């Protein structure tokens, strides 16, 4: 990221947002990058004072940025720049607010991509089957029990040297099988929890073990702006979580170094090296599971959309879904009613002879 002579002002603005708006770390990082890129452009044009920047300059900046960015990105960039100049004016850094009338690009209203209920069921069934298959392999399965009496006798006749040479690879294979089983248990728990609760992937990876209450079958979720909410989950998710915590998590935890282990001691989900799982890995898990299940490729956010739509289809109240998803505006939640209506139209068209 390029530095500018305005970095101090940007730092002050971001600190202000962090203290007063409760924005997430990801949002603050994005705003900082947007502002740095914007003011760096003006710096290249010879601007040395924020007071030199006009509305026309900002429109020119938008024209340049819009060549390489989607409207949704431009909307965020515009919000960041407009907020920065409003803050600068309020704090006496500028004599005017050139961004006061800067218009945010309109974003086309698109319906979220969702799985059907049968596709979601298929996705979770395949993940559950993977756990069962890997556990069978880890236990030795039929392979370990299939040796005949003659083969057993031959094995016993082998020299001690041959036995010692084969022990290390056997132990390594067993460790690998245990790790693969643990990862499949983790993946199944992640998919079940994402679909059961509709939480965001950022919320998922930040969860600690203590955030789960099995007695009430609820999780405590820390969402955008550090707002907390309590979300229920069902019996399938409970079973998957219990299997992961009792069997899979200890296996991956053992692979961690002491430093990593101490940082991830409370983490609900772990990566292959025993540290707290990150968003990239969680997304990969969902994409890979969709491919293996033969359902449309989806992201964790699309799984969130699917959960919300299916809950509404089941008769849940819109306000209840808003609370569950952590939406600050009911308007955001209402998008899922449109999805439900579109699906109803499609089913109507397929099933009704006079549609």
pLDDT tens by residue, 166-200: 555 555 566 778 899 999 999 999 999 999 888 98
State pTM to two decimals: 0.62
Q: Tell me: the pLDDT tens digits for 34-72?
A: 999 999 999 999 999 999 999 999 999 999 888 888 777
CATH topology of domain 6-91: DNA polymerase; domain 1 (1.10.150)
What is the per-residue pLDDT for 329? 63
Strand order in the sheet with 212-213: 212-213, 218-222, 228-232
Domain boundaries, given as residue ranges, for the chain? 6-91, 117-140+171-351
> What pLDDT is attached to residue 308?
82
How far is 52 from 74, CA to CA, in rounded Å? 23
Q: What is the pLDDT along the chain (355 residues), one digit of tens a residue?
A: 566 788 999 999 999 998 887 777 888 999 999 999 999 999 999 999 999 999 999 999 999 888 888 777 888 899 999 999 999 999 999 999 999 998 877 655 555 578 888 999 999 999 999 888 776 555 554 433 334 444 444 443 444 444 444 555 555 566 778 899 999 999 999 999 999 888 989 999 999 999 999 999 999 988 777 778 888 898 999 999 999 999 999 999 998 888 888 888 899 999 988 999 999 999 999 999 999 999 998 889 888 888 888 887 777 766 777 777 776 666 655 565 555 545 545 544 554 444 3
For residue 170, the model assigns a pLDDT of 53
| Catalytic residue IDs | 200, 224, 301, 304, 327, 336
pLDDT at 109: 56
Q: What is the pLDDT of residue 227?
A: 79
Q: What is the third-level CATH fold of 117-140+171-351?
A: hpI Integrase; Chain A (1.10.443)
């Amino acid at each position: 990221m390029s530095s500018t002579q305005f970095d101090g002002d940007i730092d002050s603005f971001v600190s202000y947002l962090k203290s007063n708006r409760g924005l997430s770390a990801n949002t603050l990082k994005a705003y900082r990058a947007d502002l740095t890129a914007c003011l760096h452009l003006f710096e290249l044009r010879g601007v040395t004072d924020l007071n030199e920047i006009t509305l026309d300059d900002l429109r020119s900046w938008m024209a340049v940025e819009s060549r390489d960015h989607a409207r949704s990105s431009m909307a965020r960039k515009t919000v960041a720049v407009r907020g920065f100049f409003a803050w600068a004016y309020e704090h006496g850094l500028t004599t005017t607010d050139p961004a006061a009338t800067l218009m945010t690009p309109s974003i086309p209203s698109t319906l979220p991509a969702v799985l059907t209920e049968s596709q979601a069921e298929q996705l979770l069934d395949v993940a559950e089957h993977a756990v069962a298959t890997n556990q069978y392999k880890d236990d030795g399965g039929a392979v370990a029990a299939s040796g005949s009496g003659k083969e057993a006798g031959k094995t016993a006749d082998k020299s001690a040297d041959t036995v010692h040479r084969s022990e290390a690879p056997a132990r390594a294979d067993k460790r690998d099988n245990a790790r693969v089983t643990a990862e499949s248990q983790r993946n199944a728990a992640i998919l079940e929890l994402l679909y059961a609760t509709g939480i965001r992937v950022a919320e998922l990876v930040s969860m600690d073990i203590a955030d789960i209450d099995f007695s009430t079958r609820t999780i405590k979720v820390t969402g955008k702006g550090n707002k907390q909410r309590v979300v229920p989950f069902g019996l399938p998710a409970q079973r998957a979580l219990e299997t992961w915590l009792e069997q899979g998590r200890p296996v991956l935890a053992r692979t961690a170094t002491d430093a990593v282990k101490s940082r991830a001691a409370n983490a609900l989900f772990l990566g292959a090296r025993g540290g707290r799982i990150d968003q990239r890995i969680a997304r990969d898990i969902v994409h890979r599971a969709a491919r293996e299940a033969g359902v449309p490729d989806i992201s964790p956010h699309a799984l969130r959309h699917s959960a919300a739509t299916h809950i509404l289809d089941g008769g849940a109240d819109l306000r209840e879904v808003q609370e569950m998803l952590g939406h600050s505006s009911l308007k955001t939640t209402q998008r899922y009613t449109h999805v439900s209506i579109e699906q109803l139209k499609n089913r109507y068209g397929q099933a009704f002879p006079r549609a």
